[in-house]
A and B are shown apart, each in its own frame.
Chain A
Amino acid sequence: MKNNVILRLFDICAEFDGELILNKVNLRIYDKSFVTLLGPSGCGKTTTLRIIGGFEKPTSGKLFFNSLDITDLPPYKRKVNTVFQKYALFPHLNVFENIAFGLKICKFSKKEIERNVDAMLELVNLKGFEKRGIERLSGGQQQRVAIARALINRPKVLLLDEPLGALDLKLRKEMQTELKNIQQQLEITFVYVTHDQEEALTMSDVVVVMNNGQIQQIGSPIDIYNEPQNAFVADFIGESNIISGIMYKDYMVGFLGHDFICVDKGFACNEEVDVVIRPEDVKLLEVGNGRLEGVVESIIFKGVHYEMKVDSAGYSWIVHSTLPKDIGSLVGIDIDPNDIHIMKKMEI
């Protein structure tokens, strides 16, 4: 059963100070999904989020919420709430009052407010912190207050602007799990902005990769990771080896002086393409056993695996392997056809 489209961005363009930030962005966001806008700094993901939230107006284009045009609607009229990057908690109110703010605006009764706030505090594991002043909270606690505050109005869509950036690794991982749980529990649409691709892959149902104000690819984390549609996505998601090659014909590509069988088709004959191979897909064999040969230049222990740089015919391969090789040793390189991804050359 497919959920309905709760948010639709139609040809959204945004220009500030003469600079084009968003260039004809089109996006459909489905109800109850966890969508992440992923991209490097300056790609326009935060601007997109702020346009959804109503804090910025697009130069052109339309925004639809459940088929209603909300492009010109001010933020306080939208059924959308935001968790800000620096939390933006109200410094003069304590935890209870911060969370209760949204309900107070809607003029709920005192009992109702108390009931709702208590429920929220329970949800974010901050029971007992009601009267605490917010300057006495740790980063993680403030984070949770911000989330509780945003959720109390029961928005249909929750926008999160890189909320975990300021937290340490362990806390971040905990919060990622918590956020995912909250989203599934409350069945709210989350639109999440981050530049951390690992975070995006962990939490999301849908990942939207953006660069230079344009959407590069939309897909599930697995799709994005395994089937990047262009070199940018491939490079941004995970680590990749990107090599220039020529597609001789369907299922046959040539690069670094050798021909390889691959599983992609649909390119023009002898078209120049980018070949993307994941570091963990590069197999190092005994010298003479692979189609290519190379010399191990460097090796770094990364805990989970060893990261090695192998120089082969002028190209420096990034290889992830659990078996280390000595620096300077000759190795053979081979790649399974399924692990060779072909994509159109990136327009510069």
Chain B
Amino acid sequence: MKKLRILSLPYISWVCMFTIVPLLIVIFFAITTPSGEFTILNISNVGRYFSVIVKSILLASIATFISLIISYPFSYIISRVGGKTGKIAMMIIMLPMWMNFLLRTCAWMTILEKNGLLNKLLVYLNFSPVNIINTKIAVVIGMIYNYLPFMVLPLVSVMKKIEPSVIEAAQDLGSSGFSIFTKIIIPLTTPGVVSGVTMVFVPAVSTFIISRMLGGGGNLLIGDLIDMQFLGNSYNPHLGAAISLVLMVLILLCMSVMNQFECEDMEGKLV
């Protein structure tokens, strides 16, 4: 046990230095004025931006939900196929992540613009062009594209742990396709779903590049607002810290709701 404690020291010091101390600094900034006095005004001012927070949570939820729907069957197929094909499929999913985040989002601008690739294709096929860029839909598409791999990874890992014989046993007992899905696969993959949802929802809620580049500046999300406090015309780190704090609390609330769905002993392990 002593050895374990010593081994955990690097991590503990890392957590202290780069998680706890910055968190305390953010809280400090949120409850003080530039002159150093304590004030609650920063946090109450966040109330003005409540509609933006709601919009951010809503768009992030939609993006998370769609990511889940898309990745679930795909992850299932990858986990069942296995072998070389499975590995190649995983690599293809991960490939965009090796590219810079800004570049990827920029690429979507090129696709969705009025004269972009999508509209050029639609016109070529004699359809009327669509106006997606600079709308909420574009922001959601950007979120899904950037964060989908984070949904696939935990799902695949949890699905791989489901022994094929468990599924065969279900088939043997008379359940086919759909009921296997609902009775076996969904309950056993719930921990993976919870991880995946967390890993997509949290960055999606606080994103600012996606909403700025694909939303055209008229669809500001809470991340943009925080960004504007630090790099906007008036430098107001106190308000920025206050908004960040409120956002963090809200995300924690959402996460605790999600964690109700997770049961520790419900892993796909075979006894």
Q: A91-B166, A91-B266 are in contact. Are A74 and B176 (CB under 8 A)?
A: yes
**Bound complex: CA of A82 vs CA of B172, how far in Å?**
7
Is the CB of B243 closer than 8 A to any CB of chain A?
Answer: no
For the complex, what is the distance from the CA of A91 to the CA of B271, rounded to whole Å?
A: 8
User: Is the CB–CB distance between B271 and A137 below 8 Å?
Assistant: yes
Among A76, A86, A105, the residue within 8 A (CB) of B165 is: A86
* A91 B269 Cβ-Cβ under 8 A: yes
Question: Hey, which chain A residues are within 8 Å of B183, CB to CB?
Answer: 101, 104
Q: Would you give the 0/1 interface string for B152-188, flagging 1 where the beta carbon is closer than 8 Å to chain A?
A: 0000000000010110111111111001000110011
Q: How far is the CA of A53 from the CA of B174 in the complex (A)?
A: 12
Contact check, A82 vs B169: say whether CB atoms are below 8 A apart: yes
Contact A75 B172 (CB under 8 A): yes
Q: Convert A76-90 into 0s and 1s, putting 1 for each residue whose CB lies closer than 8 angstroms to a CB of B.
A: 100011101111111
Given contacts A76-B176, A142-B271, contact A88 B171 (CB under 8 A): no
Collect the chain A residues with CB atoms within 8 Å of residue B166's CB: 88-91
Bound CA–CA A63/B171 (angstroms): 19
B185-214: which residues lie under 8 A (CB-CB) from chain A? 187-188
Q: Which residue of B lies closest to A161 (CB)?
A: B165
Confirm or deny: A111 has a beta carbon within 8 angstroms of a beta carbon on chain B: no
A133 at the interface (CB under 8 A from B): yes
CB A94 to nearest CB in B, in angstroms, measures 11
Contact with B along A181-221 (1 / 0, CB 8 A): 00000000000000000000000000000000000000000
Q: Decide: B170 and A86 in contact? CB cutoff 8 A.
A: no
CB distance from B163 to the nearest CB of A (A): 6
> Which single residue of chain A is at the shortest CB-CB distance from B173?
A102
Is A320 interfacial (CB 8 A cutoff)?
no
- On chain B, the residues within 8 Å of A104 by CB distance are 183
- B interface, how many residues as a size bin? 20 to 34
Residue A68 interfacial (CB < 8 Å): no
Across the interface, which residues of A come within 8 angstroms of B174, CB to CB? 76, 102, 105-106, 153
Instruction: Specify which chain A residues have a CB less than 8 angstroms from the CB of B171 in the assembled complex.
Output: 54-55, 74-76
- The tally of residues in A whose CB lies under 8 Å from a CB in B reads 31
Which B residues touch A101, using CB under 8 A? 170, 173, 175, 183
Measured between beta carbons, the chain B residues less than 8 angstroms from A54 are 171-172
Question: Is B268 part of the contact surface with A, judged by Cβ < 8 Å?
Answer: yes
Chain A CB within 8 A of B265 CB: yes
Residues of B within 8 A of A92 (CB): 187-188, 263, 266
Q: A84 contacts which of B168, B187, B271 (Cβ < 8 Å)? A: B168
Q: Does B113 contact A (CB under 8 A)?
A: no
How far apart are A38's CB and chain B's nearest CB, in angstroms? 22
Residues of B within 8 A of A144 (CB): none
With A105-B179, A134-B271, A135-B265 known to touch, is A90 a contact of B184 (CB < 8 Å)?
Answer: yes
Contact flag A88-B173 (CB < 8 Å), given A105-B179, A135-B271, A142-B271: no
Using CB atoms, name the residue of chain B closest to A53.
Answer: B172
Residue of A80, A81, A101 contacting most chain B CB atoms (<10 Å): A101
Contacts of B170 in A (CB 8 A): 90, 101
Given A82-B168, A84-B165, A133-B265, verify A89-B176 contact (CB < 8 Å).
no
B173, A81: Cβ atoms closer than 8 Å: yes
**Complex: how many Å from CA A105 to CA B170?**
10
User: Closest CB of chain A to B82's CB: distance in Å?
Assistant: 14
B270 surroundings in chain A (CB, below 8 A) = 86, 88-89, 91
Residue from B168, B173, B187, B265 with most neighbouring chain A CB atoms (10 Å): B173
A53 → chain B closest CB, angstroms: 6
Q: What residues on A are CB-neighbors of B173 within 8 Å?
A: 76, 81, 101-102, 105, 149-150, 153
Tell me the B residues contacting A by CB distance below 8 Å. Answer: 163, 165-166, 168-176, 179, 183-184, 187-188, 263, 265-271
A and B contact pairs by CB, cutoff 8 A, 21 listed: A55-B168, A75-B168, A76-B173, A76-B174, A81-B172, A82-B172, A84-B165, A86-B270, A88-B165, A88-B166, A90-B166, A90-B170, A92-B266, A101-B183, A105-B175, A133-B265, A134-B271, A137-B271, A142-B271, A149-B173, A153-B174
Q: Which 10 A-B pairs have the closest CB atoms?
A: A88-B165, A102-B173, A88-B169, A105-B174, A75-B171, A92-B187, A76-B176, A82-B172, A92-B266, A105-B175
